[in-house]
Amino acid sequence: MSAFERALDELGSAIVRGELAAGHATTVEELERRTGCSRGVVRETTRVLVSLGMLSARRRVGLRVLPDTDWDVLDPHVIRWRLAADPTRVRRELADLRGAIEPLAARLAATERTEAQAGALQAAAEALAGAGGDAARFLDADRDFHDVLLIASGNPFSVRLGAVVHAALRERAEHERAGLAPDAEDVALHTRVAEAVRDRDAGAAESAMRALVMRTHPEHPSE
């Protein structure tokens, strides 16, 4: 990990955890001391944090920590820091958002998809089924599947949420199902979505995706 990446993680995490609380005024010099990094690294780090809505930088005022209502919560960095700080809450939030977006994306994909996208979705579903106990292969195929689905929906706002879906898939694979073989029902539902999209059956695609997303929800009853 580079000095820049380390400083970004340290300061971003500190803001999310409230160690650098909303309204806190700081300086580049203070952040240099906190991270042990050079002025150039800290300046680049603060530029990223400003772009994420976590810091404001104004002439004569300096740097100020912003409240979470200003954060770019769809950015992968912010998602990762928030998951580390409060995994239960953020897993639920990710699942809630997926439940609102992905079933609709599946419905749209069934009507908007191209032949190439339908083929790519089926190929990703087959890769999931063929991953066996290889968790890394399964996660790669799972990401591919959901990426194709969101793109096939034809809605650019859905595509923008790809980072959210990636974070949810990674969190489930690395924490909730770490060390476990892929769930057979999860695999079957991915196949059902792919088949419904191929057949342009919007209702079936939406229903299967809703069932799939609900199985990943933290409040879904254990089987």
Which CATH code for domain 3-68?
Answer: 1.10.10.10
pTM: 0.83
For residue 221, what pLDDT band results from cuts at 50, 70 and 90?
A: low
122 CB contacts (<8 Å, ≥6 apart)? 194, 195, 198
Closest CA to 143 of 154, 135, 133, 153: 135
Minimum mean pLDDT range among 93-97, 104-108, 178-182: 178-182
Closest CA to 158 of 102, 117, 90: 102
For residue 72, what pLDDT band results from cuts at 50, 70 and 90?
A: very high
pLDDT at 177 over 50: yes
Instruction: Tell me yes or no: is domain 86-215 CATH 3.40.50.300.
Output: no
The residue extents of the domains of the chain are 3-68, 86-215
What is the pLDDT, as a whole number, of residue 123?
97
Per the CB < 8 A criterion, the answer to whether 15 and 49 are in contact is yes
Return phi, psi of residue 65, to 5°.
-75, 130
pLDDT at 169 over 50: yes
